Amino acid sequence: MSAARAVRGVDHLAPLDGLRGIAIALVLWFHVWQITWLRADVHVFGATLNFNAIPEAGFIGVDLFFFISGFCLFYPYARTLVDGRPRQSLATFAYRRAIKIVPSYYLSLALVVALGWAHFASPADAFAQIVAHATFVHVFNDDTFGGINGVLWSLAIEVQFYVVFPLVCWCALRRPALTCALACAAAAAYRVVVAAHYDAAHQLEQLPGTIDLFAAGIFAAYAYRALAFRAPQLVARRGLWTAFALAGAVASAWTLRSAFDARLLSGWPGMWEVWGRSALALSFFVLTLARSLRCRRGNAGSVIPHCCSFPPSRTISICGTKSSRARCATRTCRRGPARTSTPIPRGGSRRPAFRSPSRSWSRGR
């Protein structure tokens, strides 16, 4: 295994995969409900369990995607800040973001335009819509916000955050807590003003109104790396992080339920999004940080000690549990190499101490 692959395996955080799966399920179920209006009632032993809050408020899966994006974007820089890894260049960041988003986005855009060309009011309208969507600015105007495909608004917000991320990252590398606190305060203030003075709901979905979700992800990435390196005794208290993870999960579920209950109130969605989005950011932060630390094993720098050369895929399970081979490796690192009764001959390596029943290690056979 190459060094690059080993590093990627060590830095991979399985809880983020789980959160990403939850976000996908929420958004998918929400759009299925929008199309079919199917209720999520489950009948068990004569009782009816009502799960309609999940699909009908599943739009918060997009908020979870924004949080995960902030975490993943800043995590390489958190490693630079905490443990002195080489900093990712701006050119590398821009290339990775562009190659991940732009080709598939443009392909989807071309396909939808080709299939729905007849729905444009005129060639001039089609041109304006295509240009606005191709440059990711279609969320700024009521006429283009959902002019081609309504679900593309979140990608525009994502790309706009990519544009401002170098500045946000520069600030976070110097004052991570202050930067994230200011971003959350600015987002809340923006939503208060918009909810009080504007009727257009899409104004709440602009980047200034969602940047606290990205900021919460950024600070979660920093806090995870900092605690793992600087407070190993605290990280080892797995029961504590389990309790925090459960609290974050309960808070996220309660926020989803509050969004479901507030849908029929006057002023929706403005009044809920003013503080509901802040509550989501906080609950996502607690859940992700606690779950990531709960699943962590090994020392501050890696999942297993650096002197062990076993591939992470063979020693670590999906939730971070060490196998017996990894435990043996850890004991070897602490106590030194184990003594062996078989001497190593000069000029060569020791042959294996076992023989396979189907293969002979003798030369010439």
One digit per residue, the tens of pLDDT, for the chain of length 365 reads: 443 343 344 467 888 999 999 999 999 999 999 999 988 888 888 888 889 999 999 999 999 999 999 999 999 999 999 988 888 899 999 999 999 999 999 999 999 999 989 889 899 999 999 999 999 999 998 889 988 998 999 999 999 999 999 999 999 999 999 999 999 999 999 998 888 877 667 788 899 999 999 999 999 999 999 999 999 999 999 999 999 999 999 999 999 999 998 887 776 766 788 888 999 999 999 999 999 998 875 444 333 333 333 333 333 333 344 443 444 444 444 444 444 444 444 444 444 444 444 433 444 44
**How far apart are alpha carbons 326 and 316 in whole angstroms?**
8
* Number of structural domains in the chain: 1
Q: How many CB atoms lie within 10 A of CB 100?
A: 10
On whether residue 249 sits in a domain, the answer given is yes
**283 found inside a domain:** yes
User: How far apart are alpha carbons 85 and 69 in whole angstroms?
Assistant: 21
Contact by Cβ (8 Å): 292, 214:
no
Q: Please indicate, yes or no, if residue 304 is contained in any of the structural domains.
A: no
Q: Is residue 111 part of a domain?
A: yes
Domain assignment present for residue 239? The answer is yes
Apex CA 10: angle with CA 217 and CA 24, to 5°? Answer: 45
Q: Find the domain containing 233 and state its range.
A: 69-294
Nearest to residue 272, comparing CAs of 166, 217, 201, 329?
201
Q: Determine the Cα angle at 310 with ends 307 and 311, to 5°.
A: 125
- Residue 212 domain-assigned (yes or no): yes
Task: Report pLDDT for 200.
Answer: 66
The answer to whether position 166 is within a domain reads yes
Q: Position 27: which residue type?
A: V
CA atoms within 13 A on the CB side of 239: 0
185 is a domain residue: yes
